[in-house]
Structure 1
Amino acid sequence: MIIIQPSGGLCNRIRVINSAYELAKKRGDKLTVLWLNNAELNCPFESLFAPVTEIKIINIYSNMNFKKILLQLSSQQRFNNTMIENNKKDGVLNEDFFQSLKKRVYISTWEHFYPSSDYRFFKPTRQIQERIDAITSQFGDTCVGVHIRRTDHTWAIESSKTDGFVNAIDKELTQNPKTKFYIATDDINEENYLRDRFPDAIISNQSKTLSRNSIAGMHDALIDLICLSKTNKLFGSYYSSFTDVSADMGQIEKIVIR
């Protein structure tokens, strides 16, 4: 059995679960996911996604959860983020490390360790999908996604400047003045600035909650993620899993603004 406790935000967890599922398939094994509700992502799995049957999801609300501790202690091997990072190359677990895995393995990580573009476990709930459909119905023939990461992401702030996004939007509008842009950002000032600059071209989830430490905030994060994936291409932020996963989900062109 593989027991995985994905950590970090929404997209880190999605990639970790996908990796763990690929590992479980490679081993012909079962997968159990410990979904920790905490300040990084304070929302139960089933409040975001439709029910899944191929993997077992256990919501926990503390690292001292009895089930979690029991699964951890009963595992023959336990690996943390650093161990996973040190035993993979090019996003794949080293073969000798894979061969050394015992029958019951517990992993806690935000690292993805097997590439996968299979997002079968991450279909939004009906209520969230209805909100997504209402937004994407405004996209028209051409809509470009714009993901601007701010707040706590130093590399994105330093590398993906606002002027770079403005220049990319300007260039796109020069080529096709009817283009719409779906804006997903964790900084409302960035969105307001782009609305003022391009008043007829901007679409967004205007009623969203930004806090990840709330169910409403995580619903809105998932809406942004899926809406970005439904655009024709994406202007994204440097070193952002949110940019990477949304582009991968939609199999769309990703242009990182630097």
Structure 2
Amino acid sequence: MIFVPAGGLANRIRATLSAIALAEQAGIDLRVIWFRDWALHAAFRDLFVPRRLPERVRIVEASASDLLVFDRPRQKNFHVPALFQKLLFRSCLYEHQIDALRTQGFDFEDWVKKGNVYMASYLPFYAYPETLLHEMFRPVPQVEAVIGKRAAAFSAYTVGVHIRRTDNALSIEHSPLDLFFDCLDQELAAHSGLCIYLATDSEEVKQAMRARYGERIVCAESKADRSTTEGIREGIADLWTLARTQKIYGSFHSSFSELAAELGNIPLKTVTK
């Protein structure tokens, strides 16, 4: 199977874990091709330490020829890769199909066992063991150092807050800032030593949270930026630091919040109307 993870950081991690778990269960060869695009403009090797993958699994950086043959067919590339993929593969599944297939109970294992398939997804589509997340994805040392420094500023009771803004209209609509304030005010009433780790892609949210909670806020100083490697590394630092808190208050329709809770095996409360 050729697998192309799509979307942002959390989407790619979860989709890739699904593909690896599926390949191991089915006993097939898997090549994960990591593309750089507007949603995540960074190479895999610049974000994560190479791990010992299962024997029949490889994660590779996309080459120039991969862009032509294995990229996801879309308007941006005039759907040209689809022409090659129809010739090269027995069957292809694309990201816009995955959610419906999951809902319908599609047998991904039976599909992949027949061999010679292509798949692209930004969603997790196959159950993977919790240990696989920690085995397959470990941040590069530079990011590990940032995570450690931020976690060192935590108090005995620290909650994580992930407030998604910018391009996520559903999060903006369903998870307004006032509702986060309500949750944190309740936490503060119960825990006088409260520390808040804030992960957000909005500078306005940072300012509002600092104005209300002052030095209790721990967060990145730099602006969120998916267009640079450093920006994506900041996102990884946020994700792994959130996982070190006692509880996460997350945004509606955000895989980032969900993955952070999964990573830390901690409770997640989705803040929503």
Q: What is the TM-score normalised by the length of structure 1? A: 0.92
- Aligned partner of 1:144 in structure 2 is 159
- CA distance in structure 2 between the aligned counterparts of 1:240 and 1:178, rounded to whole angstroms: 28
Task: Name which of structure 1's ranges 169-178 and 50-59 shifts more when overlaid on structure 2.
Answer: 50-59
Of 62, 70, 91, 1:77 maps to 91
- Aligned partner of 1:229 in structure 2 is 243
Residue pairs, 1:150-189, within 5 angstroms: 150-189=165-204
Q: Which amino acid aligns with 1:257?
A: V
Q: What is the TM-score normalised by the length of structure 2? A: 0.87
Of 85, 90, 106, 2:118 maps to 106
Cα deviation code 1:180-219 (max 9, x no counterpart): 000000001101111111113111121x241101111101
Residue pairs, 1:36-47, within 5 angstroms: 36-47=35-46
Residue pairs, 1:92-103, within 5 angstroms: 94-95=106-107, 98-101=109-112, 102-103=114-115
Task: Name which of structure 1's ranges 137-146 and 63-72 shifts more when overlaid on structure 2.
Answer: 63-72
Q: Which amino acid aligns with 1:212?
A: R
- Aligned partner of 2:77 in structure 1 is none
Is 1:68 the equivalent of 2:82?
no
Task: Name which of structure 1's ranges 102-111 and 183-192 shifts more when overlaid on structure 2.
Answer: 102-111
* CA-CA distance at 1:66 after TM superposition: 5.5
After superposition, the CA RMSD in angstroms is: 2.0
Q: Which amino acid aligns with 2:4?
A: Q
- 8 A Cα contact 2:163 2:200, kept in partner: yes
* CA-CA distance at 1:115 after TM superposition: 2.5
- CA distance in structure 2 between the aligned counterparts of 1:50 and 1:245, rounded to whole angstroms: 19
Cα distance change on mapping 1:63 and 1:152 into 2, 3 Å = farther
Where do 5+ consecutive residues of structure 1 fail to align?
none
Task: Name which of structure 1's ranges 54-63 and 110-119 shifts more when overlaid on structure 2.
Answer: 54-63
- CA distance in structure 2 between the aligned counterparts of 1:168 and 1:86, rounded to whole angstroms: 34
Is 1:11 the equivalent of 2:10?
yes
- 8 A Cα contact 1:31 1:56, kept in partner: yes
Of 191, 205, 215, 1:200 maps to 215
- 8 A Cα contact 1:38 1:61, kept in partner: no
Task: Name which of structure 1's ranges 175-184 and 114-123 shifts more when overlaid on structure 2.
Answer: 114-123
- Aligned partner of 2:146 in structure 1 is 131
- CA distance in structure 2 between the aligned counterparts of 1:61 and 1:187, rounded to whole angstroms: 33
- 8 A Cα contact 1:36 1:62, kept in partner: no
- Aligned partner of 1:56 in structure 2 is 58
Count of residue correspondences: 253
Cα deviation code 1:69-113 (max 9, x no counterpart): 7994533221112333332238xx523x53243212110121210
Is 1:29 the equivalent of 2:32?
no
- CA distance in structure 1 between the aligned counterparts of 2:179 and 2:97, rounded to whole angstroms: 37
- 8 A Cα contact 1:16 1:112, kept in partner: yes
* Local SS of the residue matching 2:123: coil
- Aligned partner of 1:210 in structure 2 is 224
- 8 A Cα contact 2:160 2:197, kept in partner: yes
- 8 A Cα contact 2:26 2:109, kept in partner: no
* Local SS of the residue matching 1:84: helix
Is 1:251 the equivalent of 2:250?
no
Indicate the percent of aligned positions where both proteins have the same amino acid. Answer: 30
- 8 A Cα contact 1:209 1:216, kept in partner: no
